[in-house]
Structure 1
Amino acid sequence: MQHYRFKFIAAIYAMIIASPLHAEQDETSSKDKHSKEQPKKPVIMPRVDVIGVPENLEHISGSANVLDKKTLEQSRVFTVNEALRKVPGIHARDEEGLGLRPNIGIRGLNPTRSTKINLLEDGIPLAYAPYGDNASYYHPPIERFDRIEILKGADQIRFGPQTIGGVINYITPTPPQKFGGHVQAIGGNLDYFNGKVQLGGKGLLLDFMHKQGDGARDNIHSELRDYNLKYVLGLTDNQSLTLRANYYTEDSQLTYSGLTTAEFNTFGARYNPFKNDKFNSGRLGLSATHDLFLTNNLTLTTNLYFARFDRDWWRASSTTTDTQCGSAFTTARASGQAINADTCGTQGRLREYYTWGVEPRLRLNHNTLGVDSNLDFGFRAHYETQDRRQINLNQFDAAQNGLRENNVRETQAYSWFTTNRFNLGQFTATPGIRYEYIDYERKNRMNGVSGGDHLDAWLPSLGLTWNPHKMVTAFASAHRGFAPPRTEDIIGGTGTSTDVGAEKSVNWEVGTRMNPLEGVDLQASFFRNDFQKQIAVGSIAGGSTPLAQGETLYQGVEFSGKVDMPLGTYVRTAYTWLPTARQETPFRRVDTGAAVPGSVSGNRLPYAPEHLVTAAFGFAKWGFDSQIEAVHVSKQFSDFANTAASSENGQAGLINPYTIFNLAINYHHKPLNTTLFFMIKNLTDDVYIVDRTRGIIPGMPRLIQGGVRYTF
């Protein structure tokens, strides 16, 4: 079946390229234009944007934010989490402290492993298994990107498969035609070093970065290397190509388990006895984007991508309640006694992922029925293979030693979308629809049992904009939200299928963007995400939470603004108010139908703070650019029962509100093309909790860093 589907897709693509279609032209035909001698135009880099140029904002029917290069450099962001907190609606939760595995939630959705968002890089799927295991055990370093696009609302159905929270698209630098580049070095406390070299010219860009540092707790240290190659070339007058290659490695001393309440109180937030835990990973990514201008009004953009990601995580304990090291070990931790990790065995969670796909996108500007319109159509053939093993060594229970898991999980996904924007003077209306079809297969190599299942979904959307003035855009949208289940959730280890299905929601939004004065940018929106079925992932490092589903409701307000004031001063703010993040029905186990303990209709959903605020005040003049930033997160519950007191194992209890301050000072010496900078993160060195999923996880302590960048 896969063979025939691929042949069908290839045939459609060939027909599009060979098609004699000609949309309405200017007075001079495309052929005539190319026949005349004209100055050679610069090659425009083929890339799929989510938002694109600022002029596009007047037609986007949902919240749209761009973190540009200037914003990222002004604040000298340390991690992608720090960057994304500058956007309203995003709750970016730390883990190890270095931002290597961000936990990103949008509009109240649980941020664990960023499973409910759509991550792209230059418009290409970034997650290693966006259909079968949409988790973020790999994430590129923030230093790789020039800017970040964040889109919510109905327009996100053009991307998929996740169409609930939003789309985050990381944009890499454009290769220059003139030779140039930069070298950069940053050092600081906690053994931090970051070295970066970038060289480019004639459409080629080479980029290398080495980063290392200690994490938020004892016995956590990471080293990573990131190599990038990007080449843009013009093939003919009407087509161009972008080629990309990336190789990334990480070697970390990294613990998975959090702290018990007694350990936190007795030894402090930085305590971590698991000195032998190791995490090693590598990723190879290859992609190509091809632009073909068939006519002045008809463009075909095609993405072709491949990625291989592997990670080996050897760890002694996964949570504060598991018995990998024996019940006496677990009891000692619960009572706050010091333990010796050398007496504990290890579990190796060994994973390999292969992902590849092709995605042509067609843009047609037309005038059907006398209405100026823009039609977007695209389809995707996407394939994933997960090779998963678990090996236990020297476990407390000898019967648990050896190979415990050995299976392969395969996913084939086929999707298409179409939207048509009708331009009606001050108004635009953009109806759209997306279709997803997913085949799942899982084979247990240990007993030879295999199973399969499939699902499909139709996802309609409608977006509206109104531009009563060139400085004001009002927007509204509604769309069907979709998030596919993981392969392991829909097919069990015995090959049997579970009737879990996909998440389903109806998402509404209404808002406005405006530039009332020069240097003033404002955006505000009201949103409502109504879930007929939301899935609570049933695997928290070994299954301490059952796979469950229920009805939920999220609604709130977002606001963002930046104001450039006299004397070189500026303010920037992002605020989210989420008064409603409610369980409409108790969450029930998929396997038995029983209610999850503590889940009650009316309770607030876990990890959904009511208030998120990031605000900065800065000064930029005479080569200096300095700013002080405050980041506030209000209280959060960590379980369905809304438990207030910290549980013995640390996995339940209120997460208290916290506010941290970040300082960044930059000085650019223009004659020498050199920038000096100095940063302090968590200026007051506050101790605060960010997560309880596997036990108590603290935020990063105070970081003091300085660096220099020379541009040539």
Structure 2
Amino acid sequence: MRALPTACLFSVLIGSVLNGYTQDTSPQGKKTVPGDSLWNISLQDVTVTSNGLNNKIKNLASTVNIVNNRQIKELGIQSVGDAIRLIPGANYQDEDGRGLKPGIGLRGLDPGRNGYVVVLVDGKIPLGQSYGQLGAYYMLPIASLERIEVIKGASPVLYGAGSIGGVINLITKKGQGKPNAEASIEAGSYNYLNANASAYGDNGKFNYYVNYNRRQGNGFRTSRAAFNTNDVTFRVGAKLDSTNELAVSGNVYTEDAETPGGLSEQQYKDNYRQSVNPFDHFYAQRYSTAITYKKTLDATNTLSLSVFANYFKRNWWYDTKRDKKSILGDLRDIFTGGAVLEYNRTNKLFGLDNSLIVGLKYLGDQTNSIKVMGDDPLQHTGKTTFSTTIPTNVMEGYIQNEIHFSDKFSFTPGLRYTAINYGQSDYMTGQKLSTETSVFIYSFGLLYKPVERFRVYSTVSKGYNPPVLNAALDPGTVKDGRSLGAETSNNYEVGIRTTPVNWLDLSLSGYILDFNHKLTEEGGVFSNAGKAMHKGIEFELNIQPFKGMRLYTTGALQRATFEEGANKGNLLPYAPQQLLTIGAKYQTRAGAGELIVNAWNTFTGKQYNDALNTEEPSADGGNGAIPSYNLLNLSLNYNWHNWGVSLTANNLLNERYFTHRYDFWGGLFPGAPTTVNVGLSYRIHR
């Protein structure tokens, strides 16, 4: 490990967390923090549900940020990706401008297809594959989520490979209270419709939650941008007796979407809303289920087992030659399954309070991929030109113990072992390939609380990220005796969380991700790039100048650079140096109800899509700088009795911008212009 002076660490203070919004963690909108009021800005008492861990943010020796259900409703957020814009240091790359395929990067890591972030459901269940584009084509509907947790710092030990920058934990809603039901509908620009209905309840022994979501629209592109999705999510839980709990959850999802593709520089200048891909179409189906059993052995010992599986079918048809004479079908079936067995113990050891987590995890998936070439773009048929099966098996074990030396000081060491085996069978050539890798990673966390209103924490961890399966088994590397080594890094962070007075809440943190070996991707091609360094400061500030008013800002100043080779000193692809959100919220009684007004602006700094940091754009739009952009948004909510109405306007200044370039898909991908949605909701109380 490279030695790192303490002074250097503090010079790049890392940051985070705490969202200065009132926590709303139940479907009914019931506040769950004792003594909380609509005007309290501190979230330090919010419980985080990470893997095997239920702890309050203020007591965690790592950086945590939360976007809760109340924020989601008040801001009119339509997708997980849009919510992620509120997280310090998160770069959101909307692949098609409709929120259907979000790309999220944390701490300067590439957001493309979520290749560098782990996305979990309820702390344990992976949203996507084991270690290959973890959640590239699907995200849970935002309406089914209680909150979104982003956990950084010591995350590699609890969450494994792929979580160097952090992990996104999607906490789903659970049934609470008497039987209830609610429904909402939003309509807006470009024939957009978002309809949602849910029912839930809990009688003390049995609880249930079911949600249906329908999204559809024409998209802002003038053609080939229509889409519709259907999503059914459910969870049923039961307390079998005083020591046994069982929960069953599942999800069914379908997507039918035209994909407008990219634009050349001239096409973007002439009409950024146009599409030049008249035949591209994406179809998807997803089915998932999970069973979780929890056994309380005694007052200090618990055992839990989660078993999960999902099937994802993805058919993407596109005119790869852009000649309007041919069609390529990229067809994939992906089976994923696994189990997590976990033991938790809270007791005293040598007179000290301890909280121990020991876990075993198995993940397995198989990707069946077929490519079909046809000569009629209107017919989804043709000759098979490619057919492979790629199985992946992952075995992991981890242990972490939180030791309290006093009520002011705690130390949290952790260790994880990961073994990954990739295989590939090419049915067209008869070629079989395989590779495997294994690693031990560790983390250490410190938390010091000199007074109740102030905490300082620090983490040191070893990071590990294997290449995604298609890159690890690329015949062009393996066959030629070359291979892509896994990324490894030494990670450091230090931060503070404080509420010095009741009307001010501050989080500040700084981090260093020191990569010994970095992988980069350009145009779908992966390569070894040697050493790289990510440094940054993240912050979150909430101020309540008077009752009903809240001012807030979140952001990051960061720099991710190559540290050796021909590109030494250049920025890594898709690593903006500035990310900033500034907003204001006003809440007041109005007539028989309550009025809530939010205005916020997000700024994303300049980025590059290549290691050379090419400034001048290529004519085809596939290469060049990605200019900075601002998105100004406004939302109005009025709630009375069981009713609610809303109005949301995004990109009020109608800024023309794009988030990424990809030469394979035809160039640059424009972002959405001004969009306006109006909504109506109703909740039934029994």
Q: Shared fold (TM-score greater than 0.5)? A: yes
Equivalent residue number for residue 405 of structure 2? 424
User: Does the 8 Å CA contact 1:391/1:401 hold for their aligned counterparts?
Assistant: yes
* 3-state DSSP of counterpart to 1:263: helix
In 1, distance between residues paired with 2:258 and 2:218?
A: 9
User: Does the 8 Å CA contact 2:326/2:374 hold for their aligned counterparts?
Assistant: yes
Equivalent residue number for residue 49 of structure 1? 50
Equivalent residue number for residue 571 of structure 2? 604
For 1:335-484, what aligned pairs fall within 5 Å after superposition? 343-394=324-375, 402-425=383-406, 426-484=408-466
* 3-state DSSP of counterpart to 2:620: coil
Change (3 A) 1:50 1:624: farther
Equivalent residue number for residue 623 of structure 2? 652
User: Does the 8 Å CA contact 1:51/1:64 hold for their aligned counterparts?
Assistant: no
Q: Which amino acid aligns with 1:530?
A: D
Equivalent residue number for residue 60 of structure 2? 60
Which is strand-richer, 1 or 2? 2
Report the CA distance between 1:204 and its aligned residue. Answer: 1.5
| Counterpart selection for 1:514 from 498, 502, 526 | 498
Report the CA distance between 1:194 and its aligned residue. Answer: 0.9
Equivalent residue number for residue 211 of structure 1? 215
Equivalent residue number for residue 542 of structure 2? 562
Determine whether 1:583 maps to 2:554.
no
Report the CA distance between 1:216 and its aligned residue. Answer: 4.2
1:611-652 CA deviation, whole Å, 9 max, x = no partner?
Answer: 101111110111000111101111112211111111112122
Q: Which amino acid aligns with 1:512?
A: I
Q: Compare 305-314 and 480-489 and name the one that shifted more.
A: 480-489
1:304-361 CA deviation, whole Å, 9 max, x = no partner?
Answer: 10000011000113xxxxxx24xxx5xxxxxxxxxxxxx3311111011100001011
Q: Which amino acid aligns with 1:679?
A: T
For 1:489-638, what aligned pairs fall within 5 Å after superposition? 489-493=471-475, 496=479, 498-537=482-521, 540=523, 543=524, 545-578=525-558, 580-586=559-565, 599-622=566-589, 623-638=594-609
1:480-507 CA deviation, whole Å, 9 max, x = no partner?
Answer: 1111212222223487474322110111
In 2, distance between residues paired with 1:618 and 1:276?
A: 44
Q: Which amino acid aligns with 1:90?
A: A
User: Does the 8 Å CA contact 2:119/2:126 hold for their aligned counterparts?
Assistant: yes
In 2, distance between residues paired with 1:498 and 1:373?
A: 46
In 2, distance between residues paired with 1:505 and 1:98?
A: 34
User: Does the 8 Å CA contact 1:155/1:463 hold for their aligned counterparts?
Assistant: no
Equivalent residue number for residue 28 of structure 2? none
Q: Which amino acid aligns with 2:601?
A: A
* 3-state DSSP of counterpart to 1:488: helix
User: Does the 8 Å CA contact 1:552/1:582 hold for their aligned counterparts?
Assistant: yes
1:524-569 CA deviation, whole Å, 9 max, x = no partner?
Answer: 101000100111136x4xx5x4533321101010001222331411
In 1, distance between residues paired with 2:78 and 2:388?
A: 37
Report the CA distance between 1:67 and its aligned residue. Answer: 1.1
User: Does the 8 Å CA contact 2:141/2:213 hold for their aligned counterparts?
Assistant: no
Q: Which amino acid aligns with 1:601?
A: K
User: Does the 8 Å CA contact 1:491/1:498 hold for their aligned counterparts?
Assistant: no
Report the CA distance between 1:185 and its aligned residue. Answer: 0.8
User: Does the 8 Å CA contact 1:58/1:467 hold for their aligned counterparts?
Assistant: no
Report the CA distance between 1:140 and its aligned residue. Answer: 2.0
Q: Which amino acid aligns with 2:448?
A: W
Determine whether 1:273 maps to 2:276.
yes
Change (3 A) 1:245 1:573: same
Report the CA distance between 1:571 and its aligned residue. Answer: 1.3
For 1:184-203, what aligned pairs fall within 5 Å after superposition? 184-202=184-202, 203=207
User: Does the 8 Å CA contact 2:504/2:542 hold for their aligned counterparts?
Assistant: yes
Report the CA distance between 1:401 and its aligned residue. Answer: 6.7
In 2, distance between residues paired with 1:636 and 1:47?
A: 33
For 1:14-93, what aligned pairs fall within 5 Å after superposition? 49=50, 56-93=56-93
Q: Which amino acid aligns with 2:359?
A: G
Equivalent residue number for residue 175 of structure 1? 175
Higher RCO (Cα < 8 Å, 6 or more apart): 2
In 1, distance between residues paired with 2:573 and 2:110?
A: 7
Larger Rg: 1
Q: Which amino acid aligns with 1:533?
A: H
- The number of residues matched between the two structures is 620
RMSD: 2.0
Report the CA distance between 1:247 and its aligned residue. Answer: 0.2
Q: Which amino acid aligns with 2:555?
A: Y
Report the CA distance between 1:294 and its aligned residue. Answer: 0.6
Change (3 A) 1:676 1:133: closer
User: Does the 8 Å CA contact 2:341/2:360 hold for their aligned counterparts?
Assistant: yes
1:643-676 CA deviation, whole Å, 9 max, x = no partner?
Answer: 1111112122121111111100000012xx1011
In 1, distance between residues paired with 2:599 and 2:347?
A: 49
Q: Which amino acid aligns with 1:475?
A: Y
| Counterpart selection for 1:259 from 256, 263, 276 | 263
Change (3 A) 1:52 1:416: closer
* 3-state DSSP of counterpart to 2:56: helix
Report the CA distance between 1:48 and its aligned residue. Answer: 5.3
TM-score norm. by structure 2 comes to 0.87
Equivalent residue number for residue 310 of structure 2? 307
Equivalent residue number for residue 115 of structure 2? 115
In 2, distance between residues paired with 1:690 and 1:311?
A: 24
User: Does the 8 Å CA contact 2:130/2:336 hold for their aligned counterparts?
Assistant: no
Q: Which amino acid aligns with 2:438?
A: D
* 3-state DSSP of counterpart to 2:162: coil
Q: Compare 610-619 and 208-217 and name the one that shifted more.
A: 208-217
User: Does the 8 Å CA contact 1:132/1:384 hold for their aligned counterparts?
Assistant: no
In 2, distance between residues paired with 1:636 and 1:395?
A: 38
Q: Compare 624-633 and 645-654 and name the one that shifted more.
A: 645-654
Report the CA distance between 1:393 and its aligned residue. Answer: 0.9
TM-score norm. by structure 1 comes to 0.84
Q: Compare 124-133 and 657-666 and name the one that shifted more.
A: 124-133
Report the CA distance between 1:176 and its aligned residue. Answer: 2.4
In 1, distance between residues paired with 2:57 and 2:574?
A: 31
Report the CA distance between 1:135 and its aligned residue. Answer: 5.0
For 1:239-258, what aligned pairs fall within 5 Å after superposition? 239-255=244-260, 257-258=261-262
In 2, distance between residues paired with 1:610 and 1:379?
A: 38
In 1, distance between residues paired with 2:53 and 2:555?
A: 24
Report the CA distance between 1:389 and its aligned residue. Answer: 0.5
* 3-state DSSP of counterpart to 2:428: coil
Report the CA distance between 1:102 and its aligned residue. Answer: 0.6
In 1, distance between residues paired with 2:161 and 2:611?
A: 27
Q: Which amino acid aligns with 2:598?
A: Q
* 3-state DSSP of counterpart to 2:625: coil
Q: Which runs of 5+ in 1 are unaligned?
A: 1-45, 318-323, 330-342, 587-598
* 3-state DSSP of counterpart to 2:209: strand
Equivalent residue number for residue 231 of structure 1? 236
Change (3 A) 1:47 1:506: closer
User: Does the 8 Å CA contact 2:130/2:394 hold for their aligned counterparts?
Assistant: no
In 1, distance between residues paired with 2:368 and 2:450?
A: 54
In 1, distance between residues paired with 2:527 and 2:611?
A: 13
